[in-house]
Amino acid sequence: MSREKKLREAALEYHSSKPEGKIEVIPTKPHSTQTDLSLAYSPGVAEPCLEIQKNSADSYKYTSKGNLVAVISNGTAVLGLGDIGADASKPVMEGKGLLFKIFAGINVFDIEVDETDPDKFIEIVKSLAPTFGGINLEDIKAPEAFEIEKRLKAELNIPVMHDDQHGTAIISAAALLNALEISKKNIAKVKIVVSGAGAAAISCTRLYKALGASPQNILMCDSKGVIYKGRTGLNDEKLEFAVDTPDRTLEDAMKNSDVFIGLSKGNLVTPEMLLSMNENPIVFAMANPTPEIDYNLALETRKDVIMATGRSDYPNQVNNVLGFPYIFRGALDVRATDINQEMQLAAVKALADLAKQNVPEQVIQAYHVKNMKFGRDYIIPKPFDNRLITKVSMAVAKAAIDSGVAQHIITDWKAYEEELLDRMGGTDEKIIRQFKIKAKDNLKRIVLNNAEEYNVLKAAQIIAEEKIAQPILLGRRDLIEKTKQQYNLEIEAEILDIDTVYTQQDFKKYVEYLYNKKQRKGINSQQQANQLLKNSDNFGALLIEMREADSFLTGFTKNYTDSLNQILKVVDYSESSKKVSSAMILLSKNGPVFIADTSLNTDPSIEELAAIAEVTANFVKQLGIEPRVAMLSHENFSGNSKLSRKVIEAVKLLNQSNPDLIVDGEIQPDYALNEQLVSEFSFSKLESKPANVLIFPDMISANLSTNLAKSLGSIKSIGPVLLGLDKSIHIINRNSSVEDIVNLATLASIDAHVKK
Ligand SMILES: NC(=O)C1=CN([C@@H]2O[C@H](COP(=O)(O)OP(=O)(O)OC[C@H]3O[C@@H](n4cnc5c(N)ncnc54)[C@H](OP(=O)(O)O)[C@@H]3O)[C@@H](O)[C@H]2O)C=CC1
Ligand SMILES: CC(=O)C(=O)O
Ligand SMILES: [Mg+2]
């Protein structure tokens, strides 16, 4: 089956599967009791109605208006499909609604209006306006679109934007600035050919002019060919771009041009036309769904082309999806009365700048590549980049305030940034963010072992860039450099070359230190110490023992206990009064839950169980969280089984050694984690609040339960963290993901704040 046919079938199946379409409405307030209904509806609902009657601005306080946008179309220019009517435009409008929601948390009512007369259409939209915080006009053909937008902007005091005009202009301008930078061309000097003279083309070209493009270097073509001075029957917008030129066709126009902007129809550009352009041509074939020239055909035709389309399935998607969600987010958040040019230019700059920053791991994974970097194939951020919401929306909100169209002034930008991130991310992301904030408080030096591995190197890049810690790369220098080059990674970090470190002058001091410390404890000659330190696990751990760095992360290429056994040869754990154990952190919707011991002590004794609880609780305190420890068993406060009696004895020990620690058991996990259920035990030290530390009676049950929760509950986790050592040393699971390494490094860094 051809690619097109497959896509057609998949798209029809996607839309027709139950429930049909792409959007539903979900209540946001409780609605399960009679009391709830008497508040949601009659009689309670009358109260907010009367408040709004007194002060119409209160509709933002008592209704969802402030976060509700209308996506309105009359179906006259639907994508590049043309005038297919209001009815047929609905899938696109629902699609815009979906994108508004997933990328900016904005609710949308899509409204398809069967009216092509501009005056009547304007009246209809105006009469609907009280429902909405903003209006996104979509797929309305030129020239009517210009008049419709102009009048609605003037006559309504909520933000109105015709997406095909300004959304497209903003994105394509950001991409154009970056493409020009890559091809080392000057916007004021390049010859630009624009195919299309409709809503999108006119508005985009106006913005390029505002950014420095020279009017005499721009040739615009519509369905009848080049728009030249003297051509009859041109509307005002087209007249604005009429130039003196002998060129009459798109083919003529494209000769010796530098930039092609396609906002017209599919397959209008031939390979010959592309070949007639200057060196390093920039081609934005943005018609949807079929570009003016196919992506692959363009690249087969010439290698030096910087190519973009409006589609998701090729690199460089220049599509207004990168704009409208964030532009409206910023505008709604400051209750802007307009979306003006200052706000649009701020969005252009934010987008162009973002493309030059390193790409987050989550985006790289979504596109199944190893790295993306500013260049020919990456001139503009990807839609799944979750930095867009902060970068673009904040820039837009700020520009709205500075240009005087905001009714709500943001002063605490850090808090606004947090609000945006909270709006989009789940609790798990919020928890990780808070850990990162804590780690950044006191920048620690963290040694990352096996740094020649891509995942470790990429994690190091993120750790350095986000200033979570200062990474030191431990591994083979030649391989580290090779991986860096292969994946185009730039990392600011010192390298410790494990292959040459022992040939260096000061290596002796490590050998002597280890020998002096561990003689009579298994290392009884300098030669033995020397040999041990050629192993990177041992060497890394010794660096922390000797305080040459603050934290050590290893384990990527080994199994957990092999790494641990190496480390324990070097660190002084026997002097530690605590139990060496490990904990996993589940990032539940109610906050982090710490589970121990998940990997080391198979069947701990009473004393060991108490010690595991103690080191875990201490670690939780270090993170700034008050530990509430539940000692788990298969029954609640009954002591019927041997297992439960072990747990009860451990609780007693803990009560003696740590009288202030909130700890109790034996209790079942479902009770310990549920506020209502735990309050059944009024005598318990947990005092009606759920626990956040779960100590299992043995390692197997802890390990299996954690895996079960992660798999069935799709809960994210961090860990395991290694507890009970005097130093911050942690072991990642073999082949951990980049995200797992970064998260564990974050906790290791906080651990190092305390363990000096
Ligand atoms: N990638 C993106 O983000 C976006 C892409 N677009 C795409 O841009 C295109 C235009 O959309 P929009 O401006 O809203 O629609 P309009 O209906 O307002 O404009 C369409 C324009 O295309 C011109 N055109 C039609 N056929 C030809 C042809 N054979 N040669 C040259 N020009 C031609 C029309 O010419 P005439 O004036 O003579 O009728 C008209 O100027 C669509 O394909 C749409 O999908 C739009 C918005 C965003
Ligand atoms: C992307 C878009 O809005 C269009 O093609 O019309
Ligand atoms: Mg559109």
Question: Per-domain residue ranges for the chain?
Answer: 3-158, 166-322, 443-574, 577-724
Residue 676, token pair as written in the block: 């209502």
Q: Measuring CA to CA, how many Å separate 189 from each of 155, 215, 741? A: 39, 10, 47
Is 330:392 a contact under the CB 8 Å cutoff?
Answer: yes
Distance in Å, CA 225 to ligand 1 centroid: 13
- Residue nearest (by alpha carbon) to ligand 1 atom 40: 198
- Residue nearest (by alpha carbon) to ligand 2 atom 4: 79
How many residues are recorded in the chain? Answer: 756
pLDDT single digits (tens) 402-436 = 999 999 999 999 999 999 998 888 889 899 999 99
pLDDT single digits (tens) 248-286 = 999 999 999 999 999 999 999 999 999 999 999 999 999
Residue 214, token pair as written in the block: 């020279």
Is 348:187 a contact under the CB 8 Å cutoff?
Answer: no
The number of the ligand 2 atom at minimal distance from the alpha carbon of 200 is 6
pLDDT single digits (tens) 166-223 = 999 999 999 999 999 999 999 999 999 999 999 999 999 999 999 999 999 999 999 9
Residue 76, token pair as written in the block: 């006259």
Does pLDDT of 576 surpass 60? Answer: no
Name 667's bridge partners.
632
Look at the domain 443-574 and name its fold: Rossmann fold (3.40.50)
Our answer on whether the CB atom of 164 is closer than 6 Å to any ligand 1 atom is yes
Mean pLDDT of the chain: 95
Tell whether residue 164 is among the known ligand binding residues. yes
State in words which class domain 577-724 has.
Answer: alpha beta
Which amino acid belongs to residue 611?
A: A
Mean pLDDT along residues 315-326: 96
Distance in Å, CA 78 to ligand 2 centroid: 7
CATH superfamily of 166-322: NAD(P)-binding Rossmann-like Domain (3.40.50.720)
The number of the ligand 1 atom at minimal distance from the alpha carbon of 143 is 18
The number of the ligand 2 atom at minimal distance from the alpha carbon of 286 is 5
pLDDT of the residue at 426: 81
Q: Side-chain half-sphere of 182: how many Cα atoms within 13 Å?
A: 24
Does pLDDT of 689 surpass 80? Answer: yes
Which amino acid belongs to residue 681?
A: F
pLDDT single digits (tens) 610-627 = 999 999 999 999 999 999
Instruction: Report DSSP letters for 661-707, one per residue.
Output: SEEEEEE-HHHHT-HHHHTT-TTSTTTTS--SEEE-SSHHHHHHHHH
Is 542:513 a contact under the CB 8 Å cutoff?
Answer: yes
Higher pLDDT, 504 or 542: 542
Our answer on whether the CB atom of 223 is closer than 6 Å to any ligand 1 atom is yes
Our answer on whether the CB atom of 80 is closer than 6 Å to any ligand 1 atom is yes
Residue 669, token pair as written in the block: 């996990």
Tell whether residue 499 is among the known ligand binding residues. no
Pairing mode, strands 218-222 and 225-226: antiparallel
pLDDT of the residue at 291: 97
Pairing mode, strands 306-309 and 445-448: unpaired
Does pLDDT of 702 surpass 70? Answer: yes
- Which residue out of 99, 138, 263 has the highest number of ligand 1 atoms within 8 Å of its CB and is therefore the one to mutate? 263
CA end-to-end distance (rounded Å), the chain: 64
Mean pLDDT along residues 8-17: 95
Angle between helices 86-104 and 388-402 (to 10 degrees): 100
Distance in Å, CA 441 to ligand 2 centroid: 44
Which amino acid belongs to residue 706?
A: T
Dihedral in degrees, nearest 10, Cα atoms 637, 640, 642, 648 = 20
- Which residue out of 164, 176, 237 has the highest number of ligand 1 atoms within 8 Å of its CB and is therefore the one to mutate? 164
Name the strand (E) or helix (H) holding 554: strand 551-554
Q: Give residues with Cβ within 8 angstroms of 139, minimum separation 6.
A: 73, 75, 76, 77, 78, 79, 89, 92, 93, 164
pTM for this model (two decimals): 0.84
Angle between helices 324-333 and 341-354 (to 10 degrees): 130
Does pLDDT of 577 surpass 60? Answer: no
Q: Can you tell me the distance from the alpha carbon of 570 to that of 544, in angstroms, rounded to the nearest whole number?
A: 10
Tell whether residue 660 is among the known ligand binding residues. no
Minimum-distance ligand to the CA of 251? 1
Distance in Å, CA 201 to ligand 1 centroid: 7
Nearest to 302 by CA among 343, 336, 254, 342: 254
Pairing mode, strands 662-667 and 445-448: unpaired
Tell whether residue 80 is among the known ligand binding residues. yes
Q: Can you tell me the distance from the alpha carbon of 302 to that of 581, in angstroms, rounded to the nearest whole number?
A: 60
Whole-number percent of the chain with pLDDT over 90 = 88
- Sign, CA dihedral 489-495-496-499, equals positive
Distance in Å, CA 612 to ligand 3 centroid: 59
Distance in Å, CA 726 to ligand 1 centroid: 67
Architecture of domain 3-158: 3-Layer(aba) Sandwich (3.40)
pLDDT of the residue at 574: 56
Does pLDDT of 519 surpass 90? Answer: no
Angle (CA) 705-707-713 rounded to 5° is: 90
pLDDT single digits (tens) 124-135 = 999 999 999 999
Tell whether residue 81 is among the known ligand binding residues. yes
Q: Side-chain half-sphere of 108: how many Cα atoms within 13 Å?
A: 31
Pairing mode, strands 218-222 and 282-285: unpaired
The residues annotated with a catalytic role in the active site are 96
Nearest to 80 by CA among 67, 71, 89: 89
pLDDT of the residue at 469: 97
Does pLDDT of 50 surpass 60? Answer: yes
- Residue nearest (by alpha carbon) to ligand 1 atom 42: 80
pLDDT of the residue at 575: 47
pLDDT-derived band at 632, boundaries 50, 70, 90: very high
Tell whether residue 402 is among the known ligand binding residues. no
pLDDT of the residue at 317: 96
- Which residue out of 140, 284, 319, 324 has the highest number of ligand 2 atoms within 8 Å of its CB and is therefore the one to mutate? 319
Mean pLDDT along residues 85-99: 98
